Amino acid sequence: MRLSRSLVPTLKETPAEAQIVSHRLMLRAGLIRQTAAGIYAWLPAGFRVLQRITQIVREEQDAIGAQEMLMPTIQPAELWRESGRYEGYGKEMLRFRDRHDRELLYGPTNEEMVTDLFRQSVRSYRELPQIVYHIQWKFRDEVRPRFGVMRGREFLMKDAYSVDIDRDGAVLNYRKMMLAYMRTFRRMGLSAIPMAADTGPIGGDLSHEFIILAPTGESEVFYDAAFEEIDYSPAAFDATSAADLERFFHLMTSHYAATDEKHDPAQWEKIAPERRRQGRGIEVGHIFYFGTKYSASMGFSVAGPDGKPFHPEMGSYGIGVSRLVGAIIEASHDEAGIIWPDPVAPFRAAILNLKVGDPACDGLSERLYAALGASALYDDRDERPGVKFADADLLGHPWQIIVGPRGAASGKVELKRRASGEREELSPEAALARIGA
RNA sequence: CGGGGCGUGGCGCAGCCUGGUCAGCGCGCGUGUUUUGGGUACACGAGGCCGCCGGUUCGAAUCCGGCCGCCCCGACCA
């Protein structure tokens, strides 16, 4: 993208409404603009980040055999009356009527719809198990939206739903999903810790929240250093092996981890002092098993091996995709701006042409831009070098290729790594090689 | 939803208490000169029915009422 022709409205000053660092930086870097309380427009650079994250989530869901689909944002009230949640959900649900006076709602989640879809089409246990998921906008009419995209009313979420013939199958899918989640967050450069969460009416130990560590996180978290040592790469655990999944699940759930509200000092004291870890965290995912709650209330049953109908066991699994953008920034930034982990950066590199109009600078910059293509943001604006440096740091591109008259004369450019601040002068070819283009 | 605060050019703010030559400052934006590796300097310039509606008054950004929007603390949450 050529910056001179891009809608990337960076701000020198922070708008008054933004309090937390990710919100300020997202506004300042021109990633988002607020449209209404808790509702944001994703501008080109911000949208790219959203897409990078979405893609990682998608790949890891696909890897455990989940099927991607797309359900509507609007749902009929009727579906929710069946499960009894229409009344139960409260004012957080945005309700409205169409021209025929039919009651509709903007979906905050999709359990009812998935259950309905399955009951329409799946008749036998032989068609199970299955997992479906979609990445779709949700709306929860929060009384008090805040923290930018971290707590918006409209948000992008990945929600998956598993359907199994029995509890054992459901447990297996639950564990698969936990593994997929750990891999997903790791790929984004985040340290995530699963923590036991309230399981509601089902009970048991099958509900976990995924907290990522960030110095400015919303809640205090306590955990065992063991979490830092677990290798959950494909080499360590096979997501299709029940034995591996059980071993993995055990590793993940046998160590102490809790947020401040559930913190148990007695348990905490049992951990060796040098293994106690304390920090702040942000919830970015939640998975849970809810058995036959919806299949039973909504009349979804399939024929079993004995020919008799039964209600399948289900679970649902969410990841706050848009919230992750804010969470990643909370976990990775400095005074100057965002520091994107490579896998989620909107652009792999920025090309800073320090002297637009200078034949040597223009020539080198264009050459680099042609080589990098869509993965680069070419700052071809007729601006002062200082402005370009500041904006590049603010935008947080992993790499900056600085093309200035000083080096251009001898065919050299400077390569800066955003995270470390390291710079080195080299040829354009060498710079491209280092970036890995 | 309870408590608090704020709406004045794109952004950050002053002015309001003590109505009238108060529509102003910084940044940004445009033009020119200047500068040329970390938000350059100077000059000139464009840009605002002071959130909306109504009231008081000779006169309202300023006082009064209503409404709308936004933010913060709390309760609540991916």
Residue A432, both tokens: 């491209």
Question: Any atom of strand B under 7 A from CB of A140?
Answer: yes
Summarised one tens digit per residue, pLDDT across range A309-321 is: 999 999 999 999 9
How many angstroms separate the CA of A144 from the C1' of B65?
28
Residue A217, both tokens: 């996180």
A13-46: burial string, b at 16+ Cβ within 10 Å, e else: eeeeebebbbbbbbbbbbbbebeeebebebbebb
Nearest to A285 by CA among A141, A167, A189, A160: A160
How many angstroms separate the CA of A341 from the C1' of B33?
43
Tokens 């990445």 — which residue? A135
Torsion of CA A40, A46, A52, A57, to 10 degrees: -20
Residue A341: helix, strand or coil by DSSP? coil
How many angstroms separate the CA of A38 from the C1' of B66?
26
Length of chain A: 437
Q: Which nucleotides of B are covered by protein (CB under 7 A)?
A: 1-2, 11-13, 26-28, 35-40, 69-78
Residue A290, both tokens: 């809810």
Question: Any atom of strand B under 7 A from CB of A144?
Answer: yes
Q: What value of ipTM does the predicted structure carry?
A: 0.92
How many angstroms separate the CA of A147 from the C1' of B15?
31
Question: Which nucleotide in the DNA or RNA is closest to residue A355, CA to C1'?
Answer: B36
Give the Å distances, CA to CA, from A316 to A114, A161, A245, A285, A424. 10, 4, 18, 11, 48
Question: Any atom of strand B under 7 A from CB of A152?
Answer: yes
Question: Any atom of strand B under 7 A from CB of A21?
Answer: no
Question: Any atom of strand B under 7 A from CB of A38?
Answer: yes
A62-80: burial string, b at 16+ Cβ within 10 Å, e else: ebbebeeeebeeebbeebb
| C-beta within 7 A of nucleic chain B, residues 231-270 of A | none
Q: CA A65, A68, A71: angle at the middle one, nearest 5? A: 145
How many angstroms separate the CA of A35 from the C1' of B19?
36
Which domains are delineated in chain A?
3-337 (3.30.930.10), 347-435 (3.40.50.800)
Find the helix packing angle between A428-435 and A359-372, rounded to 10°: 30
State the CB neighbour count (10 A cutoff) for residue A236.
13
Q: CA A120, A159, A86: angle at the middle one, nearest 5? A: 65
Question: Which nucleotide in the DNA or RNA is closest to residue A354, CA to C1'?
Answer: B37
Q: How far apart are CA A372 and CA A170, in angstroms?
A: 45
Question: Any atom of strand B under 7 A from CB of A90?
Answer: no
Q: What is the pLDDT of residue A423?
A: 95
Q: How far apart are CA A147 and CA A243, in angstroms?
A: 41
Per the omega criterion (within 30 degrees of 0), is the bond before A129 cis?
A: yes
How many angstroms separate the CA of A15 from the C1' of B22?
26
**What is the bridge-based pairing of β-strands A349-353 and A376-379?**
parallel
**Which residues lie below 8 Å from residue A262, measured CB to CB, with a gap of 6+?**
A195, A196
A23-26, long-range: CB < 8 A, 24+ apart: A23/A147, A23/A148, A23/A149, A23/A150, A23/A326, A25/A329, A25/A333, A25/A337, A25/A338, A25/A394, A26/A148, A26/A149, A26/A325, A26/A326, A26/A329
Question: Any atom of strand B under 7 A from CB of A402?
Answer: yes
**Which residues lie below 8 Å from residue A281, measured CB to CB, with a gap of 6+?**
A193, A211, A212, A213, A214, A217, A218, A219, A220, A221, A259
Give the Å distances, CA to CA, from A90 to A154, A155, A285. 17, 18, 22
Question: Any atom of strand B under 7 A from CB of A394?
Answer: yes
Question: Any atom of strand B under 7 A from CB of A4?
Answer: no
Rg (CA), chain A: 24
Question: Which nucleotide in the DNA or RNA is closest to residue A91, CA to C1'?
Answer: B1
State the distance between the two ends of chain A, measured CA to CA, in whole angstroms. 16
How many angstroms separate the CA of A80 from the C1' of B69?
32
Residue A152, both tokens: 């918006």
Residue A437: helix, strand or coil by DSSP? coil
Q: What stretches of A188-318 show up as alpha helix (H) in DSSP?
A: 226-229, 242-253, 265-269, 293-297
How many angstroms separate the CA of A384 from the C1' of B35?
9
Q: How far apart are CA A428 and CA A414, in angstroms?
A: 9
Residue A382, both tokens: 């007729």
Q: What is the pLDDT of residue A63?
A: 97
State the CB neighbour count (10 A cutoff) for residue A102.
11
Question: Any atom of strand B under 7 A from CB of A109?
Answer: no
How many angstroms separate the CA of A17 from the C1' of B57?
36
The stretches in chain A having pLDDT less than 70 are 199-204, 437
Question: Any atom of strand B under 7 A from CB of A217?
Answer: no
Question: Which nucleotide in the DNA or RNA is closest to residue A152, CA to C1'?
Answer: B78
Q: What is the pLDDT of residue A91?
A: 86
**Which residues lie below 8 Å from residue A325, measured CB to CB, with a gap of 6+?**
A22, A26, A31, A46, A49, A50, A53, A149
The protein residue nearest B1 (Cα–C1') is A143
Q: What is the pLDDT of residue A200?
A: 62
**Which residues lie below 8 Å from residue A393, measured CB to CB, with a gap of 6+?**
A336, A337, A418
How many angstroms separate the CA of A16 from the C1' of B18?
30
Question: Any atom of strand B under 7 A from CB of A208?
Answer: no
